[in-house]
Every structure is written in structure tokens, then in C-alpha cells.
């Protein structure tokens, strides 16, 4: 008699897996190498920005009060007493009728309370001494970037778990983080199972196929910030498969296998979990593809038994492995981002299970449409290359019409969301 498995709802399965997630480890690396990593500590402002009052323009720093009588017909004259560029510290404190020639980014001299741009000033010399005049009134604080006006020392600027993009890297540099504490990439082992599998460099043989899942999973791991350790492919043979999987578990944080989780005579994963003493959290989920996705734990390690069917394997990774990996990277929004979009095509056939259709989006003015990216079957590989999202069609007794609103999970978004 074949084993009859009871499917659990997707949300429940995700919840079960996430109970086992733990924050990962931290490491300190050079600022140069931190791109696309996630912050293991928040960025805290170590100084005010700017850290001194500065000029936003090339011009003259002066005392606004001295321009009180300036007008088109009454230019007011200033003696230019100092000349400073960005990086210089002004030495002269301005007295009545004095100005400092100042460049963008330079420190405002004492006494000055505004900056007049070159464009509104006339410059000339008298007795070899530079002078300038201005025909308009200036206001106190006009054209001055005040100390701390952008950021105050001690402010928490970027949360732990944030992906380091060029803007985050700029902040790290601004606040002197020449070494950055980032989440260590979790090491995820990958094993492909199946006597039918050939490597990518092997010629096809009757009855055999090339292993695509291992490469696909490797790519999925790398895309979301993990490190992959590939242990090779295993023929469907219990003892050697058990040995390899047992050894692999000692070397990685998480282990993913693909294939062999269903009820076939050569589907050995259930027997291997048994032999490993692993607890199976679930082995049937109310979803398509990926209904056979199995997750087990041994000690505090998670073993993901993804389906052998390529599309099912892909979806199983995105729904279950990805949020665990994101949590290990301290991402507070570990789940795939949901949006709603209008169905681009009809789905007349109902399905009792929630369907995750590999899809892509199109945009028309302010409307978003979602379309399948290929054949909607669990065993296909060709619908994956153009998939940028998963359309989520709830299970039930009805189909769906083009134009109706559906939930969509974004695959290329790296921010995520807090709840599934
Ligand atoms: N009697 C039943 N049969 C099946 C059921 C069921 O409930 N009762 N479930 C079906 C569903 S749904 C799926 S999905 C598959 C899952 O099968 P397995 O996870 O056990 O995977 P395999 O049997 O090892 O392989 C399935 C399929 O995928 C190909 N494959 C395997 N590994 C790879 C790889 N690394 N790269 C590319 N393709 C791979 C393999 O050749 C098979 O064609 O079970 C259904 N059956
Ligand atoms: O696990 Mo299967 O993918 O539901 O077709
Ligand atoms: Mg099978």
C-alpha cells in the first residue's frame, strides 16, 4: 500500500520551518568588499553631518548685517581678508566690512553668517588688496549648511540586516566604518539525487537527463546571499546516499537535497531521514508545484528535501529556504514581497491546492499585469528563466478570469516583507 500523505497549508508549512530559523553568525570585512552583503550591526552616526558649518557655494562669506543698506544703486564694499578652499581651516574672524573668499565645502569663518555666490558679487583690487562689493541684502544663515543639519551624532541610520547598496556603503564610509560587521554567509550544502542524472558536461544517454536542479539551487543560494557547497549527485542507492548526506550535514549550516521525496520505489529520502534520526516537519504541502516538499530537522539543523521536478524544486526553495536564509542574514523582512496585480490570462481550471505560477509582470500606466512565463507544469524547466515573480492562485473550486486581482510574490526584490 502506498503511503497516503496529508497535505498541510502553505502558511502552516512556512511557519513550521521558520520556528527553526536562527540568526546567523557575524564577520568583519573590509569596506571595499562589503557590497551585496547584509549589515550585522546597525549604522550609527559617529559624528554630526556636516561636522562643521560649511559653504554650499563658491563665493564670499560675510556678515549679513553689513549688507543691510545694500541695494542696486548702493553697492556695499568688503575687504577680502582671507582665501580658503575645502579642507582649509579659516584663521581670521571677520570684523565689520570684511569678507572671506570661500569655496564650496569649506568651513565658514568665525564672524560670518552667510555666503554670497560669486555670481552676485563684483570683485576688484585697490592698492593690491582684493575687495568685493554686493548690491543686495543677505539674510542671516543664507547659504550656510549648518553643522548637524543632515544627521546628528548618535542617530541610528540603517537597520541591522539591511542589504549594502552603494548608498549604504557611502554612509559606512561617511561614518568611518572602514571595517564592516556583516552577516556571515550561511553555508548551504546541495546534493542532487537520481540515478538518471548526468553532469552538464556529459553527453545525453537513453533514459538519462542532465542535472539542472543543483545548478539552479546554487544560483538561488548565491542570489540571496548564501554560500553553496555542492556535494555532487547521488545514484538512488540507500547506503551510499545515507553516508554522503550524513557526512555533508557535518560540514554545512543547512542541507538541501533535490529528488527522491515522493512515494516512488527509488524515492529514498524518507528512509534516509529515518536512518539519520531526523524529525520530519512535513512531507506534503497544499501547493502546486512542490507538494512533495519535505523539511526535516536533525539537532538544530534544517534539511530541505526539495522535489526533483525542476519547477517544484525552484518554488520550494523560494518559499521555504529563502526566508530561513534571510533570517540568518539578520533580514527583518525575510519573506518574499507580495504585491497585487491583474491577471493577464484566464486560468479556467480550478485546483484544490494553492498554485504558484512562474510569471513575469507588465505595466500599463498605473496598472500591473501578471502573465505566466511558460508551461505551468511542475516537471518543466523552461518556464523558470523568464520568471521574475510567482503568481499565487488560492486553491478551491473555481478558476480565475483575466483581469481579476491576484497576489504576486516578487523574486527579484531583495527587501522582502515581515510576514508571509
Ligand atoms: N504516486 C505518486 N507519484 C507522484 C506523486 C504522488 O503524490 N504520488 N507526486 C508527484 C509530484 S507532485 C512530484 S513534484 C514528483 C516529485 O518527485 P520526487 O521529488 O520524488 O523526485 P524524483 O522522483 O527524484 O524526480 C522527479 C522528476 O524530476 C527529475 N529530476 C530529479 N532530479 C533532477 C535534477 N537534479 N535535475 C533535473 N531534473 C531532475 C526526475 O528525473 C523526474 O523526472 O513526484 C510525482 N509523483
Ligand atoms: O510536488 Mo509536485 O510539484 O506538486 O507537481
Ligand atoms: Mg520520485
User: What are 162-189's pLDDT values in tens digits?
Assistant: 999 999 999 999 999 999 999 999 999 9
For residue 156, pLDDT beyond 80: yes
17 and 118 belong to one structural domain? no
Q: Which residues line ligand 1 (CB under 6 A)?
A: 192, 194, 196-197, 209, 211-214, 258-264, 267, 289, 291-292, 307-310, 312, 378-379
Complex confidence, ipTM: 0.98
Residue after which a domain boundary falls, among 328, 358, 381: 328
170 and 114 belong to one structural domain? no
Domains: count for the chain: 4
pTM reported for the whole predicted model: 0.95
Q: What grid cell was written down for 360?
A: 513575469
**21 band by pLDDT with thresholds 50, 70 and 90:** confident
Q: Is the CB of 257 under 6 A from ligand 2?
A: no
211 and 201 belong to one structural domain? yes
Asked if residue 142 is part of any domain, the answer here is no
Residue after which a domain boundary falls, among 328, 355, 376: 328
65 and 164 belong to one structural domain? no
Cα separation, 192 vs 90, in Å, equals 68
122 and 240 belong to one structural domain? no
For residue 102, pLDDT beyond 90: yes
Show the domain range for 363: 337-410
Closest residue by CA, ligand 1 atom 45: 262
| Per-residue model confidence (pLDDT) at position 20 | 87
| Per-residue model confidence (pLDDT) at position 94 | 98
Distance 363 CA to ligand 2 centre (A): 30
Cα separation, 391 vs 372, in Å, equals 8
- Domain harbouring 285, CATH code: 3.40.980.10
Mutate to test the pocket of ligand 1, among 262, 356, 383, 384 (most ligand atoms within 8 A of CB): 262
Alpha-carbon separation of residue 394 from 244, 288, 306, 333, 399 (angstroms): 38, 10, 21, 23, 10
Asked if residue 147 is part of any domain, the answer here is no
DSSP 291-318: TT-EEEEETTEEEEEE-SSHHHHHHHII
Q: Is the CB of 305 under 6 A from ligand 2?
A: no
For residue 420, pLDDT beyond 90: yes
Terminal-to-terminal C-alpha distance of the chain: 36
Residue after which a domain boundary falls, among 328, 346, 363: 328
| Per-residue model confidence (pLDDT) at position 23 | 82
Cα separation, 107 vs 117, in Å, equals 15
Q: What grid cell was written down for 318?
A: 523560494
- Domain harbouring 166, CATH code: 3.90.105.10
Ligand 2 atom closest to the Cα of residue 288 is 4
HSE-CB at 132 with a 13 A cutoff on CA atoms is: 26
Distance 390 CA to ligand 2 centre (A): 15
| Per-residue model confidence (pLDDT) at position 363 | 96
**22 band by pLDDT with thresholds 50, 70 and 90:** confident
| Per-residue model confidence (pLDDT) at position 128 | 96
| Per-residue model confidence (pLDDT) at position 3 | 83
For residue 372, pLDDT beyond 80: yes
Asked if residue 4 is part of any domain, the answer here is no
Cα separation, 230 vs 199, in Å, equals 13
**361 band by pLDDT with thresholds 50, 70 and 90:** very high
Q: Answer whether the bond into residue 289 is a cis peptide, omega within 30°.
A: yes
177 and 208 belong to one structural domain? no
Of the ligands numbered here, which is closest to the C-alpha atom of 358? Answer: 2
Closest residue by CA, ligand 1 atom 23: 260
Of the ligands numbered here, which is closest to the C-alpha atom of 316? Answer: 2
268 and 391 belong to one structural domain? no
| Per-residue model confidence (pLDDT) at position 78 | 98
Distance 39 CA to ligand 3 centre (A): 40
- Domain harbouring 92, CATH code: 2.170.190.11
69 and 102 belong to one structural domain? yes
**303 band by pLDDT with thresholds 50, 70 and 90:** very high
**Which 3-state string (H, E, C) describes 113-155?**
CEEEEHHHEEEEEECCEEEEEECCCCCCCCCCECCCCCECCCC
**85 band by pLDDT with thresholds 50, 70 and 90:** very high
Asked if 397 and 382 touch (Cβ cutoff 8 Å), the reply is no
Cα separation, 395 vs 381, in Å, equals 23
Q: Is the CB of 262 under 6 A from ligand 2?
A: no
Asked if residue 77 is part of any domain, the answer here is yes
Asked if residue 418 is part of any domain, the answer here is no
Specify the length of the chain in residues: 420
Ligand 2 atom closest to the Cα of residue 290 is 1
Mutate to test the pocket of ligand 2, among 10, 309, 317 (most ligand atoms within 8 A of CB): 309
Tens digits of residue pLDDT in 216-259 = 999 999 999 999 999 999 999 999 999 999 999 999 999 999 99
Asked if residue 5 is part of any domain, the answer here is no
Cα separation, 72 vs 372, in Å, equals 68
List, in sequence order, every residue forming a beta bridge with 294; answer none if it has no partner: 305
DSSP, res 39: B
75 and 18 belong to one structural domain? no
DSSP 261-293: -SSSTT--HHHHHHHHTPEEEES-BSEES-TT-
- Domain harbouring 379, CATH code: 2.40.340.10
For residue 194, pLDDT beyond 80: yes
Calculate mean pLDDT across residues 111-136.
Answer: 98
Asked if residue 80 is part of any domain, the answer here is yes
Alpha-carbon separation of residue 332 from 24, 182, 201, 303 (angstroms): 13, 14, 40, 23
Q: Which has more pLDDT, 23 or 388?
A: 388
Q: Answer whether the bond into residue 377 is a cis peptide, omega within 30°.
A: no
Cα separation, 79 vs 377, in Å, equals 81
32 and 161 belong to one structural domain? yes
* Average pLDDT taken over every residue of the chain: 97
Percent of the chain with pLDDT over 90: 97
179 and 32 belong to one structural domain? yes
Name the residues around ion ligand 3, CB cutoff 5 A: 262, 264, 267
DSSP 338-371: EEEEEESS-B-S--SSEEEEEEEEEEETTEEEEE
Calculate mean pLDDT across residues 1-27.
Answer: 92
Asked if residue 250 is part of any domain, the answer here is yes
247 and 215 belong to one structural domain? yes
Amino acid at each position: 500500500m502506498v503511503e497516503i500523505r496529508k497535505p498541510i497549508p502553505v502558511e502552516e508549512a512556512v511557519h513550521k520551518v521558520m520556528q527553526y530559523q536562527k540568526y546567523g553568525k557575524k564577520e568583519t570585512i573590509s569596506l571595499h568588499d562589503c557590497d551585496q552583503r547584509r549589515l550585522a550591526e546597525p549604522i550609527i552616526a559617529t559624528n554630526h553631518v556636516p561636522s562643521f558649518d560649511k559653504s554650499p557655494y563658491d563665493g564670499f562669506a560675510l556678515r549679513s548685517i553689513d549688507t543691510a543698506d545694500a541695494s542696486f544703486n548702493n553697492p556695499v564694499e568688503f575687504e577680502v581678508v582671507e582665501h580658503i578652499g575645502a579642507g582649509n581651516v579659516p584663521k581670521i574672524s571677520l570684523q565689520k566690512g570684511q569678507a572671506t573668499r570661500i569655496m564650496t565645502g569649506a568651513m565658514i569663518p568665525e564672524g560670518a553668517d552667510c555666503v554670497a555666490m560669486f555670481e552676485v558679487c563684483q570683485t576688484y583690487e585697490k592698492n593690491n588688496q582684493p575687495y568685493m562689493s554686493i548690491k543686495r541684502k543677505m539674510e542671516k544663515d543664507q547659504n550656510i549648511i549648518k553643522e548637524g543639519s543632515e544627521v546628528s551624532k548618535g542617530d541610528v541610520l540603517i537597520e541591522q540586516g539591511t542589504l549594502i547598496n552603494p548608498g549604504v556603503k557611502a554612509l559606512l564610509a561617511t561614518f568611518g566604518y572602514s571595517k564592516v560587521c556583516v552577516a556571515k554567509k550561511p553555508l548551504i550544502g546541495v546534493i542532487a539525487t537520481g540515478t538518471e542524472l548526468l553532469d552538464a558536461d556529459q553527453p545525453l544517454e537513453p533514459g538519462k537527463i542532465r542535472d539542472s536542479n543543483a545548478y539552479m539551487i546554487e544560483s538561488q543560494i548565491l542570489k540571496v546571499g548564501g554560500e553553496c557547497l555542492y556535494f555532487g549527485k547521488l545514484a538512488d542507492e540507500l547506503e551510499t546516499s545515507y553516508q554522503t548526506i550524513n557526512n555533508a550535514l557535518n560540514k554545512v549550516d543547512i542541507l538541501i537535497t533535490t529528488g527522491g521525496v515522493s512515494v516512488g520505489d527509488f524515492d529514498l529520502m524518507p528512509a534516509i531521514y529515518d536512518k539519520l534520526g531526523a524529525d520530519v516537519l512535513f512531507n506534503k504541502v497544499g501547493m502546486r508545484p512542490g507538494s512533495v516538499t519535505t523539511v526535516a530537522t536533525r539537532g538544530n539543523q534544517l534539511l530541505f528535501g526539495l522535489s526533483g521536478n525542476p519547477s517544484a524544486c525552484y518554488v520550494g526553495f523560494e518559499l521555504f529556504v529563502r526566508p530561513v536564509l534571510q533570517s540568518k542574514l539578520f533580514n527583518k523582512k525575510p519573506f518574499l514581497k507580495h504585491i497585487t496585480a491583474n491577471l493577464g490570462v484566464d486560468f479556467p481550471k480550478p485546483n484544490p491546492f494553492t498554485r504558484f505560477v512562474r510569471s513575469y509582470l507588465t505595466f500599463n500606466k498605473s496598472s500591473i499585469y501578471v502573465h505566466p512565463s511558460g508551461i505551468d507544469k511542475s516537471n518543466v524547466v523552461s518556464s523558470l528563466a523568464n520568471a521574475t515573480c510567482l503568481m499565487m492562485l488560492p486553491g478551491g473550486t473555481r478558476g480565475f478570469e483575466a483581469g481579476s486581482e491576484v497576489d504576486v510574490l516578487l523574486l527579484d526584490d531583495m527587501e522582502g516583507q515581515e510576514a508571509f
